[in-house]
Amino acid sequence: MKPLEGIRVLDLTQAYSGPFCTMQLADFGAEVIKIEQPEIGDITRAWLPVVDGKSPYFTCINRGKKSITLDLRTEKGQEVFLKLAETADIVVDNYRGGIREKYNIDYEKLKKINPKIISASLSGYGNWGPMKKIGAFAQMAEAYGGLMNLTGFTDQSPVKSGNSAGDLYAGIMLVYGICMALYHREKTGEGQNIDISMMDAVFQTLEAGIINTGLTGKSPQRMGNRHPSGGPYNCFKAKDGWCVIGTPVWAQWHSLCRVIGKEEWIDDPKFANHKCNKQNEDEIDAQINEWVKDKTRQEIEEIMAENKITFAQVLDIKEVMEHPQTKAREMVVEVDDPSFGKIKMQGVPVKMSLTPGSVDASAPGLGQHSEEIFAGIGLSEKDIREMKENKVV
């Protein structure tokens, strides 16, 4: 049995941040009913490439869900949604501030019909504050949240994360917010409102940058692949690709000195501590680059493992998918999809001994489960037909 079996989620989210949250709830057994705009659906359904009306982007983060269409701009759509909410445990949205109130589905209205309901809202900047009505995608949240200015190299422009970190951080925080709210409800019987801002989520991940800025009055700046707390810690070019070497533990630094033929550095006052190493980082990195350039990544990995120095090969996605560790952790799973056939996607990273999650189905077609879900809340075939005629569904 999965831990969230029996939990019904009404999923009003689209794009990435919200669907990434509800995907994880589905992986662990929740019934996630994705509510989409009639005829259009989630905006990512149109993101290229599209096969038979289905996008791989949409598919990877909407697996295991059910889909219905419902136009919340209409009075009938709102009426039907509130009837659905009577049967639900959680409502998740990623609307801009003010939209829930506009559609008459804000927490105050939801809790009147279902006091145990958990309303979980994710937006660019949250549901209060001067920016509450402004929309955002991941890159805007990374920019406003301080992450983008830290990413990239000193002499170049700021760079967004390689993936949509602004979405991912917020989606993960919404998952644990929902789980904490469920635990609170289990103890008290009370539902509650959850508000997640993508900007807040990004800001929360800035490590010691906040404390250091408060103490010094100066903001940390971009430093490429180096680490602000010491060195060496960087990306180096081996014979067959890139690798990462870092020695945050002082004993590892001494081991590295021996490995690269610079044992004399161990007793040299010039390299006496992390601060000294940081001041002489260019010299250290140059020596490491010289040492790695004629060796393969695998050769370097074996040497580093033998000497207990932290190391990683920089892998592309295909290499990660084929890596023995990825396979051992079952992080690539194969799923049947009506549009794509057998497809590979990420497995479940949270490994639980008694109640593991799993990927049981691909993403749904637009409105695939509408009649099933509407019939389940007492709507007749005539009701559903009339809603279709009026483009409510």
CB-count exposure of residue 244 (10 Å: 0-12, 13-18, 19+): middle
What residue type is 321 in one-letter code?
Answer: M
Number of other residues whose CB lies within 10 A of the CB of residue 164: 21
Considering the candidates 11, 27, 42, 167, report the single residue annotated as catalytic. 167
Q: What are phi and psi of 279, to 5 degrees?
A: -70, -25
User: What whole-number distance in Å separates Cα of residue 79 and Cα of residue 386?
Assistant: 14
User: What whole-number distance in Å separates Cα of residue 195 and Cα of residue 98?
Assistant: 13
Residue 285 bears catalytic tag: no
* Best CA proximity match to 30, nearest among 10, 14, 9, 59: 9
130: Cβ contacts below 8 Å, ≥ 6 apart: none
Q: End-to-end distance of the chain based on CA atoms, in angstroms?
A: 33
Region label for 261, one of left (φ > 0), alpha (ψ between -120 and 50) or beta (otherwise)? left
Helix (H) or strand (E) holding 241: strand 241-246
Residue with tokens 């909407």: 62
In this structure, what is the dihedral angle of CA atoms 44, 46, 52, 57, given to the nearest 10 degrees? -30
Residue with tokens 């644990």: 176
Q: What share of the chain is helix, strand, coil (3-state, %, to 5)?
A: 40, 15, 40
SS3 243: strand
Pairing between strand 66-69 and 31-36? Answer: parallel
Residues with catalytic function: 167
